[in-house]
């Protein structure tokens, strides 16, 4: 059921239904927090997701507030992955140019966390920039064969 809530969130995000997207995002994280062991490490990702959502709706001041909260929680809990995502979103909000990370030719190479964040940032930018879904899927198939 948690995954269904997140898919509903993504669906409403894609059709720019702010209130419904926010509702389903909150429901998803409420379910995650109530699910058990991992709840303490979900909180920074919850704030990060709210920052991303507000960015998508061009609520940049709110997005920055949630990013600051996510950074604070990520530092307290030692969530390096969340902090890496925060760096990418902060750069985006501050107008850093969007560049596509280079793809490794070595199929056995494991990408670093920052490379992964770069790919996520690229995918977000492609979606926001109105790229065709087929192009986004093609990019995804190249980075995660």
According to the model, what pLDDT value does residue 39 have? Answer: 55
Each residue's pLDDT tens digit, 58-109: 999 999 999 999 999 999 998 888 888 888 888 888 876 555 545 445 545 5
Each residue's pLDDT tens digit, 20-66: 999 999 999 999 888 875 656 888 999 999 999 999 899 999 999 99
Phi, psi of 16 (to 5 degrees): 60, 40
Average pLDDT estimate for 110-131: 68
For the chain, report the end-to-end CA distance as a whole number of angstroms: 27
According to the model, what pLDDT value does residue 109 have? Answer: 54
Q: Looking at per-residue confidence, does 67 or 129 come out higher?
A: 67
pLDDT at position 143 over 90: no
Among the listed ranges 15-19, 43-47, 139-143, which one has the minimum average pLDDT value? 139-143
């Amino acid at each position: 059921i948690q995954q269904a809530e997140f898919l509903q969130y993504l669906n409403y995000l894609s059709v720019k239904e702010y209130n419904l997207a926010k509702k389903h995002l909150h429901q998803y994280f409420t379910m995650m927090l109530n699910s058990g062991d991992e709840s303490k490490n979900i909180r920074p990702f919850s704030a990060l997701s709210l920052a991303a959502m507000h960015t998508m709706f061009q609520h940049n001041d709110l997005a920055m507030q949630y990013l600051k909260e996510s950074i604070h929680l990520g530092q307290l809990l030692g969530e390096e992955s969340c902090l890496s995502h925060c760096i990418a979103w902060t750069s985006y909000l501050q107008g850093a140019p969007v560049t596509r990370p280079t793809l490794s030719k070595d199929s056995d190479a494991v990408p670093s966390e920052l490379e992964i964040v770069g790919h996520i940032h690229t995918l977000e930018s492609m979606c926001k920039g109105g790229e065709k879904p087929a192009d986004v899927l093609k990019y995804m198939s190249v980075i995660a064969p």
